[in-house]
Amino acid sequence: MTKHFGNASVRFTNPPSIISTAAIVGPKEGEGPLAKYFDKISADTLFNKDTWEQAESELMRQTIELAIQKAGLTTKDINYIFAGDLLNQNSGSVYGARSLGRPFFGLFGACSAIGMAMALGAMLIDGGFADNVVANASSHFCGAEKTFRFPLELGTQRSPTASWTVTGDGAVLLSSKGEGPFVTAATTGAIVDLDQKDVNHMGAAMAPAAAEVIKAHFDDLGLPHDYYDVIATGDLGIYGKKLTEQLLQDSGFNFCDRLTDCGILIFDKERQDTHAGGSGCGCSASVFAGYFMKKLHSGEINKMLLVPTGALHSVVTIQQGETIPGIAHAVAIERNM
Amino acid sequence: MTKHFGNASVRFTNPPSIISTAAIVGPKEGEGPLAKYFDKISADTLFNKDTWEQAESELMRQTIELAIQKAGLTTKDINYIFAGDLLNQNSGSVYGARSLGRPFFGLFGACSAIGMAMALGAMLIDGGFADNVVANASSHFCGAEKTFRFPLELGTQRSPTASWTVTGDGAVLLSSKGEGPFVTAATTGAIVDLDQKDVNHMGAAMAPAAAEVIKAHFDDLGLPHDYYDVIATGDLGIYGKKLTEQLLQDSGFNFCDRLTDCGILIFDKERQDTHAGGSGCGCSASVFAGYFMKKLHSGEINKMLLVPTGALHSVVTIQQGETIPGIAHAVAIERNM
């Protein structure tokens, strides 16, 4: 039976079930509109560690262990961990996964990481190579500021189009057995770069990639435009989402009433002073693992397309005058197979 | 039919064929003992670009395009590109893949990248999700020195156990059709950290991970110890290889006459002053894509286990007093299915 379609899409013949998720966030995220959907809100941004980097690794380890525990499994039951983050050399994920002792694939797709991880994890399970896979993505506001922007101590004023990196982690446990929701299909994005150079406007860099992968998903799989109840992009933020809507409308996709964005949902722009919205690998990961999974379980959502988006630049490439390459991956999650 | 075995191993039911490889290296690698096995030796370390980072991306793009061309395919025939490198935020791979326009998975496994890429690529093909996948890994001596060590201009003296990052790229084109050699099995490593802290002795940090994954591969798949003609580790170098041999012998594996290391093979230690040997994602990738593939085609080697190894630290974690986590992945390549 054919499993791959069109340019970049796959449909699973035995769709892996999401048997458990966990979402742990920091204090600011815990003051936002989605607070009640997260498993745990840490009052301590350092997660009882000495550095921001160690804090992110601790957050990552705790979240994965919680997801495994919620499923009634132990770490030994996990065949593979796929994990991504924003730090140099994926050190958030590497040091977090170190004590877990399971086969490990480090991913880099910037804030699209949870999409890559879920798509690859689902392919390994449907392909017969695994029974249980953890897909994970994490970010930490302070670690990201240090890596990409300014020392926090400077108190630098933020651009209106800048986003606020989420301190959070979302872990998704995929399994060959289970009652759903199911990962039914996925579309993997190519790198799209329309010469955007403003690192304080990453929504603009990612919007073309988001629009491209959404269009490819519908076209490849021949889906009607009203197929999904919700299409949730990763962390385009307010301005990036507007650009994506425009690009989709220009291509004849008029489902913008169903389009939302994890970066917009996680913070209250006015009250929390987060400008364009939340971002970071942990943004779409924690919003999906916390908020959307509860909506899927309750039946409020039956079918959704999660589209985590990433801005694939580094400080060095930007200093050398390079543009910001964008990427996005689409993962379909449905209550029923 | 069961495809996964033991802790972390898979055996392919329709083993993907390696229909083409390409290896491009820099001038120093072109003066080494494997010179005649590479497709192209660039006399220009900058690959006609302005920065080391751009040079690595250009090297990566050229190598992938050459592998596709050698297979008589076009870029459009490629379903997925898996690629890893050492630079912050995988920028070598990201900017190199940008113009290729194909679905892209960025990987971070330090110098184990080509192992991850080949294992995942083979799983996607055997699982029915792809016909053609490019697995790629690159590194550049100057970019790596800048990222991890000292400015080249300082002319810093190197420790005797330090390795020399290879300027090179290896691209492996896997396909659902073809005459072989075939990727027949793979074992994915967990992170192993025995508290090694010396960034000038990465062989020591990676040796335990290499030994663990080799043992797991033989145990999981129940293979006799003389199954492979060659077991080629990634870039342990002279000292790391000795440690791995010792760890394997201590566990009752006495096949050290079959054990070699890509980092040892690529340079002439005495003549080229490379101390422990070559390292970097491009080391095992270019040595496999160039040297070993020719030995497999000629029949000099019938069965080999490629075990790329990675040291998963970052400058920040080391400065914070962290140890160096190691990882290794084993990929079996055989002339016949």
Among A145, A175, A205, where does a domain finish?
A175
Task: Tell me the DSSP string of A275-313.
Answer: TT-EESHHHHHHIIIIIIHHHHHHTS-SEEEEE-EEE--
A152-160: long-range contacts at Cβ-Cβ below 8 A with a sequence spacing of 24 or more?
Answer: A158/A200, A158/A275, A159/A200, A159/A201, A159/A275, A160/A275, A160/A276
Give tens-digit pLDDT for A185-216.
999 999 999 999 999 999 999 999 999 999 99
Do residues B44 and B86 make contact, with C-beta atoms less than 8 angstroms apart?
no
Domain extent, residue A272, equals: 182-334
Give the 3-state secondary structure of chain B.
CCCEECCCEEECCCCCEEEEEEEEECHHHHCCCCHHHCCEECCCCCCCCCCHHHHHHHHHHHHHHHHHHHCCCCHHHCCEEEEECCCHHHHHHHHHHHHHCCEEEEECCHHHHHHHHHHHHHHHHHCCCCCEEEEEEEECHHHHHHHHCCCHHHCCCCCCCCCEECCEEEEEEEECCCCCCEEEEEECCECECCCCCCCCCHHHHHHHHHHHHHHHHHHHHCCCCCCCCEEEECCCHHHHHHHHHHHHHHCCCCCHHHEEEHHHHHCCHHHHCCCCCEECHHHHHHHHHHHHHHHHHHCCCCEEEEECEEECCCHHHHHCCCCCCEEECEEEEECCC
Structure tokens at B166: 């290879």
Query: B255 pLDDT band (50/70/90 cuts)?
Result: confident
Mutate to test the interface with A, among B94, B102, B320 (most CBs of A within 10 A): B94
**Is the pLDDT confidence value at A254 over 90?**
no
Give tens-digit pLDDT for A32-89.
999 999 999 999 999 999 999 999 999 999 999 999 999 999 999 999 999 999 999 9
Give the 3-state secondary structure of A223-239.
CCCCCCCEEEECCCHHH
Domain holding B274: CATH number? 3.40.47.40
ipTM of the complex: 0.98
Nearest residue to A189 (alpha-carbon basis) of A67, A298, A52, A310: A310
Residues B252 and B114 in one domain: no
Contact A314 B107 (CB under 8 A): no
Distance to chain A for B40, nearest Cα, Å: 26
Percent of chain B surpassing pLDDT 70: 100
Residues A154 and A217 in one domain: no
Residues B134 and B208 in one domain: no
Percent of chain B surpassing pLDDT 90: 96
Give tens-digit pLDDT for A19-36.
999 999 999 999 999 999
Nearest residue to A147 (alpha-carbon basis) of A311, A332, A336: A311
Number of C-beta neighbours around residue A25 at 10 A? 31
- What is the bridge-based pairing of β-strands B4-5 and B9-11? antiparallel
Residues B202 and B168 in one domain: no
Residues B87 and B226 in one domain: no
Residues A105 and A191 in one domain: no
What mean pLDDT value characterizes chain A?
97
Q: Tell me whether B104 touches chain A (CB under 8 Å).
A: yes
Among B157, B175, B193, where does a domain finish?
B175
Instruction: Write the CB contacts of B306 (distance below 8 Å, at least 6 apart in sequence).
Output: B114, B115, B118, B232, B234, B284, B288, B292, B330, B331, B332, B333
pTM: 0.98
Q: Chain B neighbours among A 106-135 (CB < 8 Å)?
A: 106-110, 116, 120, 123-124, 126-131
Residues A35 and A147 in one domain: yes
**Of B94, B123, B130, which is closest to A4 when you measure between CB atoms?**
B130
Residues A243 and A167 in one domain: no
Do residues A310 and A111 make contact, with C-beta atoms less than 8 angstroms apart?
yes
Q: What mean pLDDT comes out for the span B57-85?
A: 98
Query: B290 pLDDT band (50/70/90 cuts)?
Result: very high
Percent of chain A surpassing pLDDT 70: 100
Q: Tell me whether A95 touches chain B (CB under 8 Å).
A: yes
Residue-level pLDDT at B254? 86
Residues A156 and A226 in one domain: no
Residues B134 and B207 in one domain: no
Rounded CA separation A273/A270 (Å): 6
Give tens-digit pLDDT for A318-331.
999 999 999 999 99
Task: Tell me the DSSP string of A118-133.
Answer: HHHHHHHHHTTS-SEE
Among B175, B208, B235, where does a domain finish?
B175
Number of C-beta neighbours around residue A315 at 10 A? 15
Residues B323 and B200 in one domain: yes
**Is the pLDDT confidence value at A182 over 80?**
yes
Structure tokens at B109: 């496994």
Residues A63 and A137 in one domain: yes
Domain count, chain B: 2
Mutate to test the interface with A, among B91, B131, B148 (most CBs of A within 10 A): B91
Instruction: Write the CB contacts of B319 (distance below 8 Å, at least 6 apart in sequence).
Output: none
Instruction: Write the CB contacts of B247 (distance below 8 Å, at least 6 apart in sequence).
Output: B207, B208, B211
| Integer angstrom CA distances of residue A159 from A82, A150, A273, A315, B11 | 33, 13, 11, 17, 52
